[in-house]
């Protein structure tokens, strides 16, 4: 019999939520197994369409020629690097959400989140929503989950924005020896600094007044978002100041392995863009993931290819490399995470046991 999910530490448990006959914490409709299975279909259709376009569409002979000469060794390395990215995601999960949680449980929750992220848009928020439900179902307080989910998201994303600041600044002052427009270098760097500053400064204004009785949905959502950001930012600052090496290594690894994986797919097709082109192309191109398309298919791909070409990468190599990058980015987390997700679903159908202590 499978071992039950390890519970969070007692100070994180809501005892009335796990009492006999209490709330079963039903899975949100959008994350129900049958809904997720249905979401796989349009993502697979979109990926298949992308591959078919590359293989049969007129005018793409050079792309097909590059794809036909792909190096299997470099593609295998790309797959290994994406495995490192997935491991880094799992690595930073435990110290942020629950340091006492077993690594077996952390691995299953983290891989389950990555499987969901593969097939749903919103830059990873859907995966965190699944993890939040699992933790709440197992007894962790909702406000604690909310703060730590925001903290996790902020720490993970902060690496991307910090990389834009550093890389964009170095490119703007000519440290890499190339010549790029300030719009492509200093502007993204300044924008990233402004965004980081805004996230840090918002909590200084306090949570604000409660919404009036007749407040509309948007007004309430704004106040709720502001308070979630305040709590999450404070939680993120606490985690970072603690100097936890696992969190820092996981956050940097999650970003770095993906960037190096993109480089490996370029090498698989006989190209090797300069480091600043690869970094800025990747970081700016990832903004396409904010477009709510199934699995980000189309938005991320188009954003990556467009950004890479804008910064100076060759078009045909970029198209081939990004296609391979996206296929690996979709399939590997899904293959690694689906068994963990199925295992958790089976266990969490049972009634929660009373919290110990």
Could you give the residue ranges of the DSSP H alpha helices within the chain? 33-56, 61-68, 72-97, 103-119, 125-137, 142-172, 186-201, 217-241, 245-268, 275-285, 299-311, 315-348
Closest to 299 (Cα-Cα) out of 46, 112, 130 = 46
Q: Decide if 205 is inside a domain.
A: yes
**For position 206, what pLDDT does the model report?**
72
Q: Which domain holds residue 329?
A: 27-348
Q: Decide if 7 is inside a domain.
A: no
**For position 63, what pLDDT does the model report?**
67
**For position 3, what pLDDT does the model report?**
42
Q: Decide if 9 is inside a domain.
A: no
Average pLDDT, 10 consecutive residues per value, the chain (357 residues): 41 34 49 60 63 60 72 95 95 87 87 82 61 76 83 89 92 86 91 88 74 74 76 86 90 94 93 89 72 52 84 88 88 87 75 43
**What is the rounded distance in angstroms from the CA atom of residue 118 to the CA atom of residue 138?**
24
Closest to 260 (Cα-Cα) out of 313, 325, 308 = 325
**For position 34, what pLDDT does the model report?**
56
Q: Decide if 42 is inside a domain.
A: yes
Bridge partners of residue 140, in order along the sequence: 13
Classified as helix, coil or strand, 140 is: strand
Q: How many domains in the chain?
A: 1
**For position 7, what pLDDT does the model report?**
43
Closest to 300 (Cα-Cα) out of 80, 50, 61, 111 = 50
Q: Decide if 21 is inside a domain.
A: no
Q: Decide if 16 is inside a domain.
A: no
Q: Decide if 189 is inside a domain.
A: yes
Crossing angle (nearest 10°) for helices 125-137 and 72-97: 40
Q: Decide if 56 is inside a domain.
A: yes
């Amino acid at each position: 019999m499978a071992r039950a999910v390890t519970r969070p530490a007692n100070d994180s448990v809501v005892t009335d939520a796990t009492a006999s006959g209490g709330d079963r914490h039903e899975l949100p409709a959008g994350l129900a197994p049958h809904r997720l299975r249905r979401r796989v279909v349009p993502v697979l259709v979109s990926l298949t369409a992308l591959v078919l376009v590359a293989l049969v569409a007129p005018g793409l002979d050079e792309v097909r020629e590059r794809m036909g000469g792909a190096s299997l060794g470099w593609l295998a390395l790309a797959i290994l690097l994406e495995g490192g990215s997935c491991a880094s995601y799992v690595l930073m999960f435990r110290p942020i959400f629950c340091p006492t949680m077993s690594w077996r449980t952390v691995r299953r929750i983290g891989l389950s989140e990555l499987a969901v992220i593969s097939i749903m848009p919103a830059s990873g928020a859907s995966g965190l929503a699944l993890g939040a439900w699992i933790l709440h179902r197992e007894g962790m307080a909702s406000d604690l989950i909310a703060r730590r989910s925001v903290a996790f998201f902020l720490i993970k994303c902060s690496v991307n924005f910090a990389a834009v600041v550093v890389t964009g600044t170095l490119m703007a002052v000519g440290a890499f020896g190339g010549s790029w427009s300030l719009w492509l270098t200093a502007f993204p760097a300044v924008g990233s600094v402004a965004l980081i500053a805004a996230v840090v400064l918002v909590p200084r204004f306090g949570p604000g007044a409660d919404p009036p009785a007749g407040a509309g949905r948007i007004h309430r959502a704004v106040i709720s978002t502001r308070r979630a950001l305040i709590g999450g930012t404070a939680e993120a600052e606490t985690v970072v100041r603690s100097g936890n090496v696992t969190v820092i290594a996981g956050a940097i690894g999650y970003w770095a392995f993906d960037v190096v994986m993109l480089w490996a797919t370029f090498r698989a097709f006989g190209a090797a863009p300069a480091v600043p082109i690869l970094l800025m192309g990747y970081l700016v191109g990832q903004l396409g993931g904010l477009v709510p398309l199934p699995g980000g298919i189309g938005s991320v791909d188009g954003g990556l290819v467009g950004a890479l070409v804008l910064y100076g990468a060759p078009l045909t190599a970029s198209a081939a490399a990004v296609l391979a990058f996206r296929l690996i980015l979709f399939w590997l987390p899904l293959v690694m995470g689906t068994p963990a997700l199925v295992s958790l679903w089976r266990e969490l159908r049972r009634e929660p046991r009373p919290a110990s202590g």
